Structure 1
């Protein structure tokens, strides 16, 4: 297959679904880690095509969603300073902090701007030498290379008014934490193809061995996901546990070496707080010693009190697969995309947003 439309072919999808039904003899629970895959699954009703004995659980693969409230509060603290232009991806603007969100802050006069790339923030810094420009850098390994490149570009231009507020996370530690949780039911994982395009498949090999669980790398189109599910189920039925690459048109074992070099040059691994998962050891990326001048936390001596744990939003339970969005008592009533209680209803990769957009009527009826 060469064209995107071919990965949405209903006849081929029906064939794969038929093979899955013929294949399955046991009861199996799979987690798709990526929020983009969750949206595709719910949009196309893929979970409803599977045998009743196969359950899909939605994982923490939405970078906006896993950014902890404390980091949102840090961004808000920066945005309220008149000398600062705060920039970030659009999805971040409406994620609630402890008491506010960045869009509301912008409405009150703060200079908050949504951008497609941190390189645009570097350009803004060059055009506004009298202002401090901060880019709120969130994401998985997919955004890390361009965030690193922005620092190198700012350095090359001699800019002293550009910095990053970093909340950068890596996927494998989250998979391991979920798999080792005492109440874990997940027997196989679908890994995110775009992350593996950057990092390759090799880093999942030891993880699959340690966890004794299949990890199948797959993409985001309906046939990608169905083929990934089929591959994972084949392993489960055979009692196998290995990494399998079902996204070979983009992913190879080594990944994008240039992107990895950028990450290694600018960042170092660190412990990181995740919404819903808590602090995971060596799961984050922070600016290394050579680039501390571009660290907004150090530049502005940020000292924001830890966020109090809220009780109304159940995003943490959704992100770890303990509940489905429609099982939250606020889903579709107090919590909507126009008035969200948490990040999973805001983000374009959030599970709650997917259910609200594509399956709201059924979800509300079931509640």
Structure 2
């Protein structure tokens, strides 16, 4: 019996090794949204130094046959058999994937406040300024499901005290857990009318009405970033965006590429690893939206993270120009090299996820 087990294990090992060697290598993992290690180039020097062995180990792990299936089995074993509360820091509750954000980082929040203060002092002395925090899904789901979460009340209180020059817009009551994608970090644009209305009311501009938009759905399922990270069985989301004639006639200028595009970049549905990039073409340092049908000549500057990509299109009705600034990708100290600050309305729109890990802000 022992001999048979040994033969079986050796045969299995040989089969898997041959499969790694001969099955076609994949360039990227769609589920994990990352590039996969490729077969290393062989040389005697690489072999002698151990570099080839290390790179081949990475290649073998990334190109392992049925790798995604094994990742799912491992995740199920951890959560269903071992009773672990999460996998890779992500837990499921009622079919919704949530990243555990705990604890609140006071140092990160202080750093963000200092960054925003510096921007205000240098550029925004003549502007009306507003600040809106986007709560992550944990705000709605952590406590009911018995998971740890940051101290959200302390975060809001600290921001309010630390940014006295900005009017706070509280979005917490405008949202529910169902307003976020099940498999992703982000919120669903079709659910954002109440949040957009709260912001527009504070800015004193025309608020959006659901009847003014038509819903357009992507023709393939949306697997968000948590789908790959958690490796747990989940139903995909449906990605929907809101369209109307005003948005169709707006143009979007990208300062990085020097090109002009549209509010919704539908090519991203097939070209990008992240279908959420359909909203304003995804991560961009500086964008300006021109609205030829604006009801006023007012302008708005939005300092934002990726949540702003899907919300800002709902704020456009009255504004002739809206500029989006993502200081994760451009130095805030050099903004006057690109933008002319002259008393525009200013909105800071940041998620709790970024505020609690603000080292990315430049």
Calculate the TM-score normalised by the size of structure 2: 0.27
Larger Rg: 2
- With normalisation by structure 1, the TM-score equals 0.27
Of structures 1 and 2, the one scoring higher in RCO (CA 8 A, sep 6+) is 1
